[in-house]
Chains A and B, each alone.
Chain A
Amino acid sequence: MANRPLPKLDAVNRDFWTGGEQGELRIYHCGDCGTWVHPPRPVCRNCLSENVAPEAVPGTATVDTFTINHQPFMRDMEVPFVIARVALDGAPGVFLTTNIVNCPVEDVNIGDKVKVTFLQEEDVWLPLFEKIGEDA
């Protein structure tokens, strides 16, 4: 899937998009109340504390839902592929939109256990996920 739109890096999102260089999936975490804050912001959405900072999470997740995209919405888009929303382990309440890769699209299901694998594109490390287990 060449030609992906890439995020514009800034002060707040840089850790999320570059943590993959060190093999880390980094999510903002509130040091006061423990809330995981995503999308990353310099304030906690639960207690309004400014004591928030990126922290590495385990990188495993569960497929919450997904779709198989068949339509080439952009030039050079190779289809079909899976777009999924995954619930991150270790960061309650945080979901990521991602792709489930390295398996046939029809093998993906809600409830599948997945783990992160990073795809570098320019200065960005995209967190993609691959299956490590079936729906329990």
Chain B
Amino acid sequence: MADSEAYITGIGQSEVGVRLTRHPLLLTVDAVKEALDDAGLTIDQIDGVSTYPGRMPIFLGFSPIGADELIDALGIKPTWYAGGGEISSQLGAVVEAVGAIKQGLARHIICFRTVYEAAALSRPEEFPPMRRDRVDGGQQWTAPFNAISAANWIGQFAMRHFRKYGMTREQLAQIALTDTANSAKNPRALVREPLTMDKYMSSRMISEPFCLYDCDRFTDASTVLIVSAGDALGEVKTTPVRVAASAGTVERYSWDQAEWVAAYPTGRDLWKNTDYTAEDVDVAQLYDGFSFNAVTWLEGLGFCKVGEAGDFLEGGKRIALDGELPVNTGGGQLGGGRLHGFGFAHEAVVQLRGEGGERQVANDPKVAVATSGGGPLATALLLAKD
């Protein structure tokens, strides 16, 4: 283990639910406590905090807790902290932390993402919604055409993929079917009932080609990862998981000007700074806010060629828990809940430690990939148990 490397040494997660009443700060504290206990660290050993996208008072449910608030609430004395939306998507907060660790700016960094959209939207008196006004920034080019949901944007990329390469709805369905088969084995997951192909095919359309089960749904939860310095591993009790490589890119931020989504350049870049290849990956956690996002990651990371994901997914055997490339073992976002990116890194660590219980993949996995982002922004992490 090299002193100059960064490791994930603790993971934690709050209750995962919909319309929870526990305050989002308390959910965050639940996740922090679990991660500290897991790592065998105490709060006074934490000297860094990193989050995405930071405080967003305009829409309380999307990011109800910022780095500043958590630092103050827990009495952390950070030598380094960061939170912002203009980074390479959710797990970009982990990439930032890895950079800080490698520069010696901190020794143990809490990375967190708290989401509270289901609760906030259901209780507007407690969490006042965004004031309705004219739109500006990137939204002005889409919202006036009632392209309100990300389903409308990602749906268009999916439609093009369908028409160009012939992917079928049955092939795409394998993402949701696999996710829910796995989430049924994950005690914390939101969805505990496996989906069937019949139910998928007969569900209502949201934005073609996406039906209801291609879209994740608002979830309330907090997820924490502690990133530690290689020379501080003597202070932790867990099996550390090394961040072996990372990549993050941005496509044209104006969605409709982008040729493709950022998963493709990000997936390509991940392999530039490591000797590992896609063939070394034992388990893959692929962002699936929409099922098709996972398709772009499969292709972008090189698990199959561009345009061939449909064939790769056919029948679902390859991506099953006992398949050649187990995908979204904790249920992804479609089964596990919309943990907004952080759930993927959390689950990757669970699998590498062999702590997946009923959903643990066999043969002692050594290398995992975890991704976040589905549109103009994307991040990929390669995690390894040395």
Contact = CB atoms under 8 A, between A and B. Distances in A.
Q: Are A and B a genuine interacting pair, yes or no? A: yes
Interface string B141-163: 11111111101100111111001
Nearest to B133: A8
Interface of A: 1, 4-8, 10, 13, 38-39, 64-71, 73-74, 77, 80-81, 83-85, 94-99, 110, 121, 124, 126, 128
B209 to A, nearest CB: 8
B254 interface: yes
B149 A71 contact: yes
Contacts of A73: 146, 148-149
Contacts of B257: 38-39, 94-95
Given A6-B135, A65-B157, A97-B142, A39 B148 contact: no
Given A71-B149, A73-B149, A96-B256, A6 B144 contact: yes
A6 B144 CA distance: 5
A81 B145 CA distance: 10
Given A5-B143, A73-B146, A110-B160, A68 B208 contact: yes
A10 B140 CA distance: 11
B293 to A, nearest CB: 15
19 contacts: A4-B144, A4-B145, A5-B135, A5-B143, A6-B135, A8-B135, A38-B254, A65-B157, A67-B156, A67-B208, A68-B205, A69-B149, A70-B208, A94-B257, A95-B256, A97-B141, A110-B163, A121-B144, A126-B144
Contact of A85 (B144, B156, B163): B156
Interface residues of B, number: 36
Contacts of B160: 64-65, 110
A19 B256 CA distance: 20
Contact of B146 (A66, A77, A85): A77
A94 B140 CA distance: 16
B305 to A, nearest CB: 21
Contact of B156 (A83, A94, A121): A83
